[in-house]
Structure 1
Amino acid sequence: MNAIVNERIGERVSALKISWRRASLEAGFEAGFIQDIITGRCPSPGEDTLASLAAVLKCSPSYLTGQSDDLAGDTSAHRAAMSASDPAQRPDALMALRIVDELLAGGHVEAARIVVRRALKSIAVE
């Protein structure tokens, strides 16, 4: 799984034209966090870590782990939920709120602000 996670993180960072450092910081981690994952200095990232990285890398955690080849991990039910106007029916909004909650609980206020700004931009685009 590590090879797939490494490859997919690298793909997303390149596709978004951001640095490993920037992606790490925006996800609420140390500046060298992604580099440590890629080089094997860090053990396999857990679910919460993958969720934070996926939010910044604009993909689903299942994409990062290779469980899905679709960036959003879309199923027809997921697409229907994404188009619903009720926030409780939007897995992306719920994931963003969970990430913000975890970041705030860990004292990462600036990273939480970044996640909120990204979510608001995403909503504005829709």
Structure 2
Amino acid sequence: MAGLTDTDIRLDDNWQITAAAGGDALLVSGLECFLQDIRIEALTQEGEVFYDETWGWSLLDFMQSQDDELLRLEIEQRVRTKLARREEIDPESIQTTIEFLEDVVAIRSSFRFVDSDQTVQLDVELDRVKVEVRLV
């Protein structure tokens, strides 16, 4: 899991490596790296990475589910648990809402960093084919 002081390879909106003019891969660090890591984890199923079997939100588990209060609570708890694992995030600040819109499940989460008033909003949309994650 990347933290606020880490550096990684910058990925574009299509999850491809961003190349510099000289052909080298561009890097991302600090807050951008941290938020990129959250986006990648939200797209990942648990067990997909060999170094951490619990990394990944496994949101595709909810794809063919019927909307009900128990399902909404399960999704909310999964998102809260995954975000709260990150020591940089204030677990008390995590807010999540879920909407079922035709063939799309829209998950909107927000959180603040520990000892900060900065709020980050993360939107995740699930449809029958893919998961899309956007930082707002």
TM-score, normalising length: structure 1: 0.35
Higher relative contact order (CA 8 A, sep 6+): 1
Whose strand proportion is higher, 1 or 2?
Answer: 2
- From the two aligned structures, give the one with the greater helix fraction: 1
TM-score, normalised via structure 2 length: 0.33
